């Protein structure tokens, strides 16, 4: 049973009719007191709660009722209904345990999608299963691992993939966030529809709207033809927003609107378009800390993380390293026509002791380089040790020019040029070396008119 709590009879009636048209059992409550009586007598499966009652628009009554509900029945999912003026209250409600918030006037399809997702998640229980059991039910062929942490993550993916819940994947660089996003899509009802990957860190602020929402001919200089944006390409499918923590403030606002109500406007057009898309985001940054430092919008964070998956680093699951190494070796045997390739037991144990800050990506590169350089079929410790990247120089080793010999801006330009040259024009690698986000480096490249080739990145 779904309980709708709203003092406005028109809103309450509309929601009840909508829910019943979809065969949901639903009932309404006009006041907090009436709602609490219903909850006590017949615990609902889900609650839709308006934040404002009577004449007041402070939201205090709605927040007090939410706190009481979460105290008495903490497992009941709650969807908040709010106007634009109450978004800050809705975010506060999410902190208190609400599961989602829907804006007034609501879109029926979006609201029903949220209801279905939360009810599906409520019904499904977690059962610890082996990798073989999971592989029988789901498609996880590209994900290597049997560590208990990974099995729990795969279990979660399997449960939520069939819903349209927004998913936030967190973890260090190289832990396989993109593979997890692909697994979500492959095991969803949208598997036969588009899966569009977007590296948000590689899109400059000036091109954000054009890249994401498309543009029409003549929208700006050099716009010689209409172009479909990433959201339009992903319609009916899944859009994977990688490096979402690199978005600047203005782009966050533009992204929030389409995530709120699934509508957007093509650049140069005033016509509003609607999109039906599953949102999966990823980042290696701590978005909670970014919210606290006012560099990431709190309402955007709550919009993208209905389900959060945190991937462990490779050093936290060393038992999976032999599985990964053997997987890489088997693939590279065919690529390099060396069918007798193996790794010695001592080398495998040595690899399991490495810190591997680059995680799976670093391990794969290490294995491939070792195969290319070694002329033996059994790779030993020395083969891998010789290919480990040199440790970065310690801070403080660099020589700083004397005061007055160079300006700060000139020094910044020189460092950027050196980083781009050293990393062979790879913007992402140069940005990492400089301690910048890709979008921040793009802005500096444009500002200082330093040439670069986006195709090389």
Report CA 370 to chain centroid distance, whole Å.
Answer: 33
Reply yes or no on whether the pLDDT at 56 is more than 60: no
Of residues 94 and 151, the one with the higher pLDDT is 151
387: nearest Cα among 366, 371, 405: 366
Query: Residue 16 to residues 10, 40, 80, 104, 274: CA-CA distances in angstroms?
Result: 10, 20, 15, 16, 25
| Strand partners of residue 195 | 238
Could you tell me the two tokens for 315?
Answer: 């050093």
Structure-model confidence comparison of residues 400 and 215, the more confident one: 215
Environment class of 344 (CB within 10 Å of its CB; exposed 0-12, middle 13-18, buried 19+): middle
pLDDT tens-digit profile of 295-327?
999 989 988 988 899 999 999 999 999 999 999
Please enumerate in sequence order all residues whose Cβ is within 8 A of that of 250, keeping only pairs 6 or more positions apart, or say none.
205, 208
pLDDT tens figures, 213-233: 988 887 676 767 888 889 999
For 114, half-sphere exposure in the C-beta direction (CA atoms, 13 angstrom radius) is 27
pLDDT classification of 399: cutoffs 50, 70, 90: low
Q: pLDDT grade, residue 184 (50/70/90)?
A: very high
Instruction: Give residue 360's Cα distance to chain centre.
Output: 19
pLDDT digits (tens, 9 = 90+) for 259-283: 888 888 888 888 888 999 999 999 9
Q: Does the pLDDT value for residue 414 go beyond 70?
A: yes
What is the per-residue pLDDT for 397? 46
- CB distance 277 to 235 below 8 Å: yes
Residues recorded for the chain: 457
From 102, 147, 152, select the one nearest 306 (Cα to Cα).
Answer: 102
Note whether 457 and 427 are within 8 A (CB). yes
Percent of the chain's residues with pLDDT above 90: 43
- The answer, yes or no, to whether residue 390 has pLDDT greater than 50, is no
CA 38 to chain CA centroid, Å, is 37
Confidence of residue 395 (pLDDT cuts 50, 70, 90): very low
Axis crossing angle, helix 32-41 with helix 60-72, rounded to the nearest 10: 10
**Chain centre distance of CA 78:** 23
pLDDT, tens digit, 9 for 90 and up, residues 348-362: 999 999 988 889 999
**244 or 394, higher pLDDT:** 244
Question: In whole numbers, what is the pLDDT of the chain averaged over residues?
Answer: 86
Kindly tell me if the per-residue pLDDT of 22 is higher than 50. Answer: yes
Higher pLDDT, 4 or 51: 4
């Amino acid at each position: 049973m779904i309980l709708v709590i709203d003092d406005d009879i028109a809103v309450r009636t509309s929601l009840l009719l909508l829910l019943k048209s979809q065969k949901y059992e639903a009932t309404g409550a006009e006041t907090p007191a009436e709602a609490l009586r219903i909850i006590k007598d017949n615990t609902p499966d889900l609650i839709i709660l308006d934040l404002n009652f009577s004449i007041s628009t402070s939201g205090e009554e709605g927040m007090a009722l939410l706190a009481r509900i979460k105290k008495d029945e903490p497992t009941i999912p709650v969807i908040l209904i709010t106007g634009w003026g109450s978004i800050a209250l809705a975010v506060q409600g999410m902190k208190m345990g609400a599961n989602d918030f829907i804006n007034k006037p609501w879109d029926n399809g979006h609201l029903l999608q949220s209801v279905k997702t939360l009810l599906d998640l409520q019904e499904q229980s977690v059962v610890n299963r082996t990798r073989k059991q999971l592989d029988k039910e789901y498609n996880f062929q590209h994900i290597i691992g049997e560590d208990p942490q990974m099995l729990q993550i795969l279990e979660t993916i399997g449960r939520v993939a069939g819903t349209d819940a927004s998913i936030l994947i967190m973890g260090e660089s190289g832990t396989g966030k993109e593979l997890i996003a692909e697994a979500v899509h492959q095991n969803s009802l949208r598997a036969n529809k588009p899966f569009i990957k977007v590296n948000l860190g590689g899109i400059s602020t000036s091109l954000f709207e054009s890249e994401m929402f498309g543009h029409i001919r003549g929208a700006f200089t050099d716009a010689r033809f209409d172009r479909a944006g990433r959201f339009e390409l992903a319609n009916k499918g899944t859009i994977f927003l990688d490096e979402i923590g690199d978005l600047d403030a203005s782009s966050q606002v533009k992204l929030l609107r389409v995530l709120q109500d699934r509508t957007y406007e093509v650049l140069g057009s005033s016509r509003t378009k609607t999109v039906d898309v599953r949102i999966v985001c990823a980042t290696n940054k701590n978005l909670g800390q970014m919210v606290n430092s006012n560099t990431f919008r709190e309402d955007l964070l709550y919009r993208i993380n209905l389900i959060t998956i945190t991937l462990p680093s490779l050093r936290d699951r060393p038992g999976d390293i032999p599985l990964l190494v053997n997987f890489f070796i088997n693939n590279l045997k065919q690529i390099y026509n060396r069918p007798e390739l193996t790794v010695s037991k001592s080398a495998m144990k040595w690899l399991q002791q490495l810190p591997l800050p680059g995680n799976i990506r670093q391990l794969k590169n290490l294995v491939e380089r070792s195969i290319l350089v070694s002329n033996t079929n059994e790779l030993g410790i020395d083969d891998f040790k010789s290919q480990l990247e040199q440790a970065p120089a310690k801070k403080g080793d660099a020589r700083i020019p004397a005061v007055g010999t160079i300006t700060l801006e000139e020094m910044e330009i020189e460092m950027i040029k050196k980083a781009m040259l050293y990393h062979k024009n790879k913007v992402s690698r140069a940005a990492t070396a400089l301690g910048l986000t890709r979008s921040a480096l793009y802005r500096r490249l444009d500002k200082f008119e330093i040439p670069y080739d986006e195709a090389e990145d």
